[in-house]
Amino acid sequence: MHRWIAFLCCAFAAAAVAQTDTIKPTWLTEKFARTYVLKIPAPRGQIVDRNGEPLAVTRVCQNLGIVFPAPLDYAEAKAVAFAREQIAKAERLTGRTVSISDKAIERHFRNRGILPLDILQDLTPAQQKGLNGHLGEGLILHPMYARSYPNGPLAAHILGYAGRAGGTLDSPIENNELLWPEAEGREGLELAFNEQLTGKPGQVTLHFDATGKKDYEKITVPPQPGYNVVTTLDLKLQQLCENVLQKGVKRGALIFLDPNTGDILAMASCPSFDPNQFIPAISAERFKALSDDPNHPLIPRAFRAVYPPGSTFKTFVGIAALESGAITPEDEFSGPPSLEIGNIVMRNWKKTDAGMLNFAAAMEQSCDTWFYQVGIKTGSKPLVEWAQRFGFGAKTGIPLRAEAEGLVPTDEYKKKREARRLSSGDLANFSIGQGDLLVTPLQMAQAMGAVANGGTFYQTRLVLQVQSLDDKIVTGYDLRVKDQIDLKPPNLAALKKGLVDVITGAHGTGGKAGVENIEVAGKTGTAQWGPKNKERNAAWFTGFAPADKPKYAFVALYESDVNQKNTHGGTVAAPLVGEVLKELFKDESKPQERKKKADPTPKPAEEQVGGD
């Protein structure tokens, strides 16, 4: 339409010139008249917990921009000088520093001068108040959408973050372009559900008069917000787990899930980071600080880091031995301080002879030499098959990028790596969760959930559904059973007895996970991890509670410093779970007491053994 108007103006000017040469052609005064149809970015959908509590939201923020005087018929040097005056005023009024080059000012003036040049983003209420009555003709406050994480670092590794899509808008204005860049998911659920969270842009018509001043603005199509993602998380439990981790751990993970559904109720990794730092874009200095941090806060240890599971894996070695018929719950094996396997002497964590033990007693004491014998007797095929059946060596399938698979060593794996099959030494190491075996904390929690409910292996869930703004379900993620593991009742009873005795037995290694009001079942574990000159401990505690009717399956992982002593599953990981359980069951009664008088002989809380 503006071309047609210009054509009429030119015709009128030609006629005027024919009458007199003193009248200036009017089309020169109309060259700044424009009409644009631009897109309004849509609010991004929310991410919420299972009860609707917000975890990631979209809010309206206020940006401060420079408005260049119209008409824009002056030199770029004058535009830069004007902008510098406004920048100095903005810095004085807000107390913030503006970083923008003269080149950037020139590009905006040349290509987009009719639109404000943003110089400060997301002003605080106090900064906005300081600008009241002082904006003048050169500055303007205008709203836009920004992503926000109201709980700061809480569940940051799960949520991820949404950064600004594309670079700075400084090219010539084109119809149907966005008024400002949208946010797009870069990590976590923000990335996995980016398409669903991203809404549909609206449309606004802007008209500028002959001087370049905006004289008309109308929203012709309102933006449609994105869909909301409802997670399985429980905000209060997530907060509790993260608080416990921050107080007791430099690096580690803590997970609670519902063993009756496979739903992840809390999944915390420590250290964490604040995803608000990435909004709208993280500074180079902040990103370098996060990347160079020796504790690696950007790594989600709960599902992207792998560790040897140590003695927590004895739970599944026992299942393999029992279910394959290699042993019965009543069979007894010796528990000497050491055993010679091949040409290697492999030791128990305890230096005294444990005597003859059945399976439940061996679990209570976490007797390494007992499990060396049973693992070798069971053989590689049942050990590997039962480990895989409980989900080890495979991703759980949660919708988060780069989930680790872990590793269950097989004969084929050994043939490729070392041109041999699994040896007796390998099986002995496998039986105490050492050697090449690697698992994620989430895999361990998932497996223990199946033990807790008696053998139903649920698909682990992190998201319940995606729904529209009016609460209509767009996509639902139904409860799904991946496998029904029919454990024989006597075997399951012996296993649960052993796990309970780990907490309450006189020789149990997990007493610090016990609470006064509930029967807890669990297993400690301590594994050496990393190169010999930089060896660390991975200290574990995993289990479920209450033992008779489980409501929670859990795992705690404590990652020690190099050569840090006294970091065993019973001393550093079990207390983390115990603290959470005390809060969860604080209104319950019926004290849990230890069954026998404690052994007066001093002993470490968990085993440490050498490799093959």
Task: Name residue 91's beta-bridge partners.
Answer: none
Share of the chain above pLDDT 90, in %: 77
The whole-number average pLDDT for the span 311-331 is 98
Residue type, 81: A
Beta strands in 259-396 (DSSP E): 263-270, 333-334, 338-341, 344-347, 356-357
Model confidence at 25, pLDDT cuts 50, 70, 90, reads: very low
Confidence label for 243 from pLDDT (cuts 50, 70 and 90): very high
Token duo for residue 259: 């063993």
Q: At what angle do helices 441-452 and 314-323 cross, to 10 degrees?
A: 50
b/e map of 428-456 (b: 16 or more CB within 10 Å)? bbbbbbbbbbbbbbbbbbbbbbbbbbebb
Architecture of domain 235-584: 3-Layer(aba) Sandwich (3.40)
Q: What pLDDT score does 529 carry? A: 84
Lowest mean pLDDT among 37-46, 277-286, 556-565, 603-612: 603-612
Exposure b/e, 213-248, CB count within 10 A at least 16 = b = eeeeeeeeeebebbbbbbbbbbbebbebbbebbeeb
Rounded to an integer, the average pLDDT of 33-49 is 93
Confidence at 595, pLDDT banded by 50, 70, 90:
low
Predicted confidence (pLDDT) at residue 515 exceeds the cutoff of 80:
yes
Higher pLDDT, 170 or 49: 49
pLDDT of residue 170: 84
| Greatest alpha-carbon span in the chain | 121
Task: Sort 87 into a burial class: Cβ within 10 Å, 0-12 / 13-18 / 19+.
Answer: buried
Token pair for residue 65? 């921009």
- Asked whether residue 590 carries a pLDDT value surpassing 80, the answer given is no
Q: State the amino acid at position 18 in one-letter form.
A: A
Residue 502: pLDDT over 60: yes
Length of the chain: 612
Residue 42 has pLDDT above 60, yes or no: yes
Q: Into which CATH architecture does domain 39-227 fall? A: Alpha-Beta Complex (3.90)
pLDDT of residue 558: 97
H/E stretch holding 217 reads strand 214-221
Q: How confident is the model at residue 153 (pLDDT cuts 50, 70, 90)?
A: very high
What is the reported pLDDT for 593?
A: 54
Beta strand extents in 317-418 (DSSP E only): 333-334, 338-341, 344-347, 356-357
Asked whether the predicted pLDDT for residue 179 surpasses 60, the reply is yes
Q: Are 4 and 27 in contact (CB under 8 A)?
A: no
Q: What are 120's two structure tokens?
A: 């400060």
CB 131 within 8 A of CB 92: no
User: In one letter, which amino acid is 560?
Assistant: S
User: For 438-494, what is each residue's pLDDT tens digit?
Assistant: 999 999 999 999 999 999 999 999 999 999 988 899 999 999 999 999 999 999 999
Per-chain mean pLDDT for the chain: 90
Say yes or no to pLDDT of 283 above 50.
Answer: yes
| 34, 207 Cβ separation under 8 angstroms | yes
Q: Is 142 helix (H, G, I), strand (E, B) or coil?
A: strand
Tokens at residue 205, please? 């018509």
* pLDDT (0 to 100) of residue 565: 80
Let me know the angle formed at the C-alpha of 277 by 271 and 283, rounded to the nearest 5 degrees: 115
What lies within 8 Å, CB to CB, of 158 at 6+ separation is 188, 189, 231, 233, 267, 300, 400, 462
What is the reported pLDDT for 24? 43
Across the range 511-533, mean pLDDT stands at: 92
Let me know if 363 is exposed, middle or buried by CB neighbors in 10 A (0-12, 13-18, 19+). Answer: buried
DSSP string, 478-500: ---EEEE----HHHHHHHHHHHH
Domains 39-227 and 235-584 share a fold: no
- Burial degree of 461 (CB within 10 A; 0-12, 13-18, 19+): buried
pLDDT tens by residue, 353-401? 989 999 999 999 999 999 999 999 999 999 999 999 999 999 999 999 9
Gap between the Cα atoms of 261 and 464, Å rounded: 11
Estimate the crossing angle of helix 424-431 against helix 368-378, to 10 degrees: 130
Between 309 and 603, the higher pLDDT residue:
309
Q: Apex CA 194: angle with CA 189 and CA 199, to 5°?
A: 130
Domain range list for the chain? 39-227, 235-584
Q: Are strands 228-231 and 47-48 parallel, antiparallel or unpaired?
A: parallel
Query: What pLDDT score was predicted for residue 256?
Result: 98
Residue holding tokens 């799960």?
158
For β-strands 263-270 and 252-258, DSSP reports them as antiparallel
Give the number of other Cβ atoms within 10 Å of residue 494's Cβ. 21
pLDDT at 33: 80
- Do residues 285 and 578 lie in contact, with contact meaning Cβ atoms separated by under 8 Å? no
